[in-house]
Amino acid sequence: MAIKKVGVMTGGGDCPGLNAAIRAVVRRAHQTGYRVMGIKNGWKGLLDINALELDALAVSGILPKGGTILGTSRTNPYKHEGGREKLLRNFENLGLEALVAIGGEDTLGVAATLWEEDKFPIVGIPKTIDNDLCGTDQTIGFDTAVSIAADAIDRLHTTAESHQRVMVVEVMGRHAGWIALYSGISGGADVIIIPEVPVNFHDVAELIMKRHNRGKNFSIVVVAEGAKIHDEKGERLIVRSTQVDEFGHVMLGGIGEVLGKYLTDETGFDTRVTNIGHVQRGGTPTVYDRVLATRFGVLAVDLVSEKQFGKMSALKDGKFVASELAEVKKGYRLVDEELYKIAAVFFG
């Protein structure tokens, strides 16, 4: 009897820890007696049949490396004509008996649909620096992204103090404020603005002015890119979204810059805005992410062995368990209120 072949792929935005997960999948699969095919560039590689066998050498030394040796893409097979059929056919032609998909909302959403509609033998591993995926309490890449953001805030702190400035730091987080909250708490932020808690920019300005009146002559404001900030009339501050279109790519700045302008006008304090952007999603993963990715990878192969398809590796209530892939379609996992209240203890 031929040895079983399992595929593994990474889709969506890259993040630190993907390679650690790929390595864990390959090593556990070999131990279990499977061969592993690496699918290149997410779903695209399954549409194009772009794959290579991953032996032990292929994953040697990749554990501490950022990015993904398999490449990634945002290709959605359901948005390509005949994509679903092609995908199912190529999967069979490659001789695969199961697929491990490492991805976020989009990639795992496709995985969930493939399972629901076609009983496609798939298991997911959740990743996104934003940590806003339903079905798991933590995703690969989040701890590293927060660490990078917090390190930037640490560095900005000394400048803020020396120059008596207001430092606005925009971090990633379009739908949920996880990165902003964690990096803000870690970096000793004086205000943290997240999508889940809309604020009026007057209140932010007032908080900063009160703080300065108390003798603190610098402030750190951490703002998630998806923060909802309103002006005096209750209208939402407009992020320069048209320019995003014109440029054909996401612009730097956004809400951080807009807020910075308002704060300058309102408080009169010397204000600077920083947005470390894509730096948050690259480079060597933290220990937390390496262990998380390794455990998720081993668990995913175990789910394949047990034919528990339509599931994904997850961390829930401190335990490594299998979640239903369908959960990723339930919307964004928002920050818990308790954590926000803790952050707020340190505001002002």
Which residue do the tokens 């959605």 mark?
76
**Contact by Cβ (8 Å): 189, 168:** no
Select from 85-93, 105-113, 156-164, 321-329 the region that touches a copy of itself (CB under 8 A). Answer: 156-164
Taking alpha carbons only, the member of 316, 317, 320, 315 closest to residue 302 is 320
Kindly state whether residue 252 participates in binding a copy of itself, applying the rule CB under 8 A.
yes
Query: In which order are the strands placed within the sheet that holds 311-316?
Result: 51-53, 35-39, 5-10, 98-103, 122-126, 311-316, 319-324
Q: 134, 140, 146, 314: which one contacts a copy of itself (CB under 8 A)? A: 146
Nearer to a copy of itself, 1 or 249 (CB): 249
Shortest Cβ distance from residue 217 to a copy of itself (Å)? 9
The stretch near a copy of itself (CB under 8 A) out of 6-14, 75-83, 106-114, 326-334 is 6-14
Query: Shortest Cβ distance from residue 144 to a copy of itself (Å)?
Result: 9
Taking the complex as a whole, how short is the minimal distance between the CB of residue 337 and a copy of itself, in angstroms? Answer: 13
User: How far lies 98's CA from each of 130, 145, 182, 325, in Å?
Assistant: 28, 30, 36, 15
Three-point CA angle 177, 135, 152, nearest 5°: 30
Binding mask 43-62 for a copy of itself (x = CB under 8 A): -----------------xx-
Q: Measuring CA to CA, which residue among 69, 101, 24 is closest to residue 325?
A: 101
337 part of the interface to a copy of itself, by CB under 8 A = no
The nearer residue to a copy of itself, 113 or 147, going by C-beta atoms, is 147
Contact criterion met (CB below 8 Å) for 100 and 24: no
Choose between 60 and 308: whose C-beta lies nearer to a copy of itself. 60
In the range 7-46, which residues lie near a copy of itself by CB under 8 A? 10, 13-14, 16, 18, 24, 27-28, 31
- Residues numbered 262 to 321 that lie near a copy of itself (CB under 8 A) are 264-265, 270-279, 281-284, 286-288, 290-291, 294-295, 298, 315-320
Stretch that binds a copy of itself, among 67-75, 99-107, 109-117, 229-237 (CB under 8 A): 67-75
**Minimum distance from residue 256 beta carbon to a copy of itself (Å):** 8
Task: Tell me: does residue 209 bind a copy of itself (CB under 8 A).
Answer: no
Q: Backbone phi, then psi, for 316, in 5-degree steps?
A: -135, 125
Return the structure tokens found at 147: 């660490």
Residues 12 and 107: their CA atoms lie apart, in Å, by: 6
Active-site position among 14, 48, 106, 130 = 130
**Nearest distance in Å: CB 117, a copy of itself:** 29
Is residue 137 annotated as part of the catalytic site, yes or no? Answer: no
- Report the C-alpha gap between 104 and 305 in whole angstroms: 23
Within 77-136, which residues bind a copy of itself (CB under 8 A)?
none
For residue 234, with 0-12 CB atoms within 10 Å meaning exposed, 13-18 middle and 19 or more buried, which class applies?
A: exposed
The verdict on 143 binding a copy of itself (CB under 8 A) reads yes
Q: Which of residues 165-204 bind a copy of itself (CB under 8 A)?
A: 167, 182-183, 185-188
Residue 296 corresponds to which tokens in the numbers above?
A: 């998720």
Roughly how many angstroms between the first and final C-alpha of the chain, as a whole number? 68
| Shortest distance in whole angstroms from residue 191 CB to a copy of itself | 15
Active site residues: 130
